[in-house]
Amino acid sequence: MKKMTKKSLAIALTGAMCLALVGCGGGSKETKAETKAAETSAADETKAAEEGAVDLNALTLDEITEKAKAEGEVVSVGMPDEWADWGSLWQAMSDTYGISHNDTDMSSSEELQMFATEGKNGTKDIGDVGYGFAGQAVSEDLVQGYKTSYWDNVPDWAKGEDGKWMVAYTGVTTFLVNTEQVDKVPTSWQDIREGDYKVALGPLTGGNAQAAFIASAYAFGGDMNNLEPAFEFWTELAEAGRINTLDITQANFENGEIAVGVVWSFTGIPYSKNIEQYKMTAVVPSDGSLQNGYASVINKYAPHPYAAALTRETMFSDEGQTYLALAGAIPTREDFVVADEYADQVISKEDIAGAVLISDAEAYSAACETAKTRWEEEIAPLLVQ
């Protein structure tokens, strides 16, 4: 039996009262009109819920906060504690608002696939997808918008129409190296080409690997519109058995199964600090590095849309931007300045001076799709693990 909500119970009671009055000869136009209005309002709410049409941008931050507290929970995908130190974000959500959290880690494509597959029966609220997947999230109508109170301080390239996606941080291409397993730490893609390193970049269905692939194109004279140098490079490594097909998780670095991995700075720097079994170092390659971000996306059918909106709000707050900076990310808000006490703990402008800032989501998405498709056709068949 379907449970009655407070709204439907109120409507039912109103209807019962009207019937009682009519039975006693007490029916009135006003009572019938009120009943009709209540029924229409309920129907409109039901239709809005079915369409996933919560208008988060029409609410004040105070209203969103109160509704989020009432929901009491936010469920994410692809936002584990160790990635960009989301752990601090989730702790802040709990400490400040009493909102609990759980996450299922997955790649960008898997996140959007879950939103699409679950549809109106969505069980996830918010995800964090590679910049190249932002357009897909919108074109497939999988997300809803929330612009945050910091909207005007976020550059245009880092936000989609109506806040259907927003980039809270960027990172730079980074080599994470186990210095106990390699004789010489590579500081460039050319070093890797000339050495005997076996390199991991993760599956090409994920945003990390796609970015690593495109970064290597820039190192050898290519760019987003010319990926041939990257295909030549990775084909060489594949034929030489020098591609490690394991995913670039902290666990795989910790257990010694990856000696050299290409990651984002916001995972490479935390991993290098967290891994105790080996001495690790994180290096930004001198000849090919992208500065690129991940976009938060709120599921169109999020079961806790207000908590999801408040999560994004917290990402862009001074507190959230500080967490990201300390995790090796570059905060996106143009008016944010990290506190002096943390200045020597974050990436400097010199560290990212040579990185190529990716600011065209459509062009980047096309390059990522080319990289993924041709990798499966040309390079994957060469891999033997």
Tokens of 23: 């039975």
pLDDT at position 52: 59
Asked if residue 48 has pLDDT above 60, the reply is no
Asked if residue 104 has pLDDT above 70, the reply is yes
247 CB-near residues (< 8 Å, 6+ apart): 200, 202, 203
Using the structure block, give the residue that is written with the tokens 């506190």. 339
- β-strands 166-178, 330-331: how paired? antiparallel
Q: How far is CA 41 from CA 8, 11, 44, 46, 60, in A?
A: 11, 10, 5, 9, 22
**What angle, 0 to 180 degrees and rounded to 10, lies between the N-to-C axes of helices 305-316 and 86-97?**
120
* pLDDT category of residue 256 using cuts at 50, 70 and 90: very high
Q: How far is CA 162 from CA 166, 297, 324, 376, in A?
A: 10, 12, 24, 35
Average pLDDT over residues 202-216: 95
Taking only the tens place, the pLDDT of each residue in 263-296 is 999 999 989 989 999 999 999 999 999 999 999 9
Question: What's this model's pTM, rounded to 2 decimal places?
Answer: 0.78
Rank 27-31, 293-297, 357-361 by mean pLDDT and report only the highest.
293-297
* pLDDT category of residue 53 using cuts at 50, 70 and 90: low
pLDDT at position 163: 98
Average pLDDT over residues 296-301: 98
pLDDT at position 25: 34
CB 71 within 8 A of CB 304: yes
Max distance between CA atoms of the chain, in angstroms, equals 95
Instruction: Identify the CA nearest to 77 among candidates 254, 294, 320.
Output: 294
* CA–CA dist 265, 57 (Å, integer): 32
pLDDT over 90, % of the chain: 80
* CA–CA dist 154, 335 (Å, integer): 8
Lowest pLDDT segment from 36-50, 165-179, 219-233, 312-326: 36-50
Asked if residue 323 has pLDDT above 50, the reply is yes
pLDDT at position 348: 83
Instruction: Identify the CA nearest to 120 among candidates 46, 48, 53, 51.
Output: 51
* pLDDT category of residue 156 using cuts at 50, 70 and 90: very high
